[in-house]
Each structure stands twice: as C-alpha cells, then as structure tokens.
Amino acid sequence: MLIPAEQVSAHRLLIVTGHYGTGKTEFSVNLALDLAKAGEKVMLADLDIVNPYFRSRERRDLLQAAGVRVISSSQECSDADVPAIPAEVLTVLEDRSYRGILDIGGDPDGARVLARFQPKIVTEDYQMIFVSNANRPEVRTAANAISYMRCIEEVTGLKCGGIVNNTHLCGETTPEEICKGAALAEEISKETGIPLLCHTAVETLKDKLGCLNGPVYPITIQMKKPWEK
C-alpha cells in the first residue's frame, strides 16, 4: 500500500535519526517537499553538524522554491560545516503553525545537539524516527541497531517513536534489498515495541514490492554525489 508523506506521521515535530549513511537526509528532504506540496507549512532544520555525509541544506534552493523554510548552521555556504546550532531552531520548536523536520547527525555524538532542547521538545507533539538500512555494516543486525538507537535516546533524553525501513544500495537498489531491510526493521519493531511506520522505495520500484506487509512511502532521489550531478 502506497502512502503520502502526510500519512507517514501525524506528529507536528519529526526528529529523523539513525546511523550515518542510512539515508536520513534523503528521507527528510523528500518528506519536507511532499508535505509542502500537500499544502502544509514546513520547516526543515539541518542539524547534521558532526561528520555529515549529505546535508539537507545542499538542496536549499529546491526546498525553498517548494515553500520549505530551511534552517542550518551554515547559512551562506552549503559546503561549509560549522559545528554550531542556529538560534532559529527555537522557531521550529515554538511556532506551531509549522510542521517541523529535524535532520539529526548520524551517531550519538551528532544527536547530542538535541540534548539542550530536550526540555522544550518533550512539551511538543513530537516523534523521533529511527531510519534503518540493513546494508550499513554497523547496524545490519537487530541487536546492533537497537543498541545504537538506545544510545541516541540516552544522549538526547528523547524516546524513539517510529522506525522507517530505508534500506538501499544507492543506484543498485533492488526490491530484494528493500525486502531484506523490511525483515530487519520488523525484527527491531518486534523487539522494542516501536511501530514500523513505513518502507521507502524509489518510484521505479514502488510497484515491485509485493513482499512487503506494511505501507510504502515512495521517494525521489534528491541527494546525489558530486559526480552524479
């Protein structure tokens, strides 16, 4: 079953976490674009300031053209990494007219930036999402993925409320890979009691996933390596 972005989560604040390379930023950017297309006011905060691989702010022009307000630590240069939290983050936390998406760093150290905002976040309607990719060596087993997720919860003081299977091999992704990731995500969900929100798949594969039981959120690849542009 295919679902639109607005059915992935009904919470106002979505905090996107997971191991680096799992596709957190791709998921965040797609979600922001699709929510804006659906008519929602959207703010995307790029808080991936520790060893970022892809940065949401690299698609600032695309996002802003779609009506998404982008907040990042490096406003003037998308290629610069400034390890500081922009004051504007308070806007996404306090202005409840926006759907806020926070793209967080891909390890506990990267997620630590949220700790200072924890007292405010827990008073809001939020959901922290753990993005799973069965092809990342460090989190390809349920035990390792759960341990990693618990570390993120510990340093942020926030509880994970949803899992997204975003298993991929970039341009080599096949339906079989996504289904392999589904098995891992389902095991994580079963062991923790945290709901599996959806599986992601590029548009060309969305009709080839009969192996999946849960909803599929179709995405378009927006984050490309420099040599792919």
Q: Looking at residue 96, which CATH number applies to its domain?
A: 3.40.50.300
H/E element, 178: helix 175-192
**Phi, psi dihedral angles at 148 (to 5 degrees):** -65, -45
How confident is the model at residue 111, as a pLDDT?
82
- How many independent structural domains does the chain possess? 1
Q: Which amino acid is at 176?
A: E
Range of the domain at 202: 5-228
CA distance 138 to 12: 31
Beta carbons of 101 and 44 less than 8 angstroms apart: yes
Q: Which residues pair with 132 in a beta bridge?
A: 165
How confident is the model at residue 41, as a pLDDT?
97
How confident is the model at residue 188, as a pLDDT?
98
CA distance 107 to 109: 5
- 109 is written with which tokens? 């150290």
How confident is the model at residue 113, as a pLDDT?
82
Q: Which residues pair with 128 in a beta bridge?
A: 15, 160
How confident is the model at residue 80, as a pLDDT?
47
Beta carbons of 205 and 170 less than 8 angstroms apart: no
Maximum pairwise Cα distance, the chain: 45
216: nearest Cα among 173, 178, 172, 174: 178
How confident is the model at residue 206, as a pLDDT?
80
- Cβ neighbours of residue 72 closer than 8 Å, sequence gap 6 or more: 45, 46, 55, 56, 57, 60, 86
The burial of 143, by beta-carbon neighbours within 10 Å (0-12 exposed, 13-18 middle, 19 or more buried), is given as exposed
The pLDDT profile of the chain, 229 residues, written as one tens digit per residue, is 889 999 999 999 999 999 888 999 999 999 999 999 999 999 999 887 655 555 666 778 899 999 999 988 654 444 444 455 667 788 899 999 999 999 987 777 778 888 889 999 999 999 999 999 999 999 999 999 999 999 999 999 999 999 999 998 877 888 899 999 999 999 999 999 999 999 999 988 888 888 888 899 999 988 665 434 4
How confident is the model at residue 147, as a pLDDT?
96
Query: How is the chain split among helix, strand and coil, in percent rounded to 5?
Result: 40, 20, 40
- 28 is written with which tokens? 């965040």
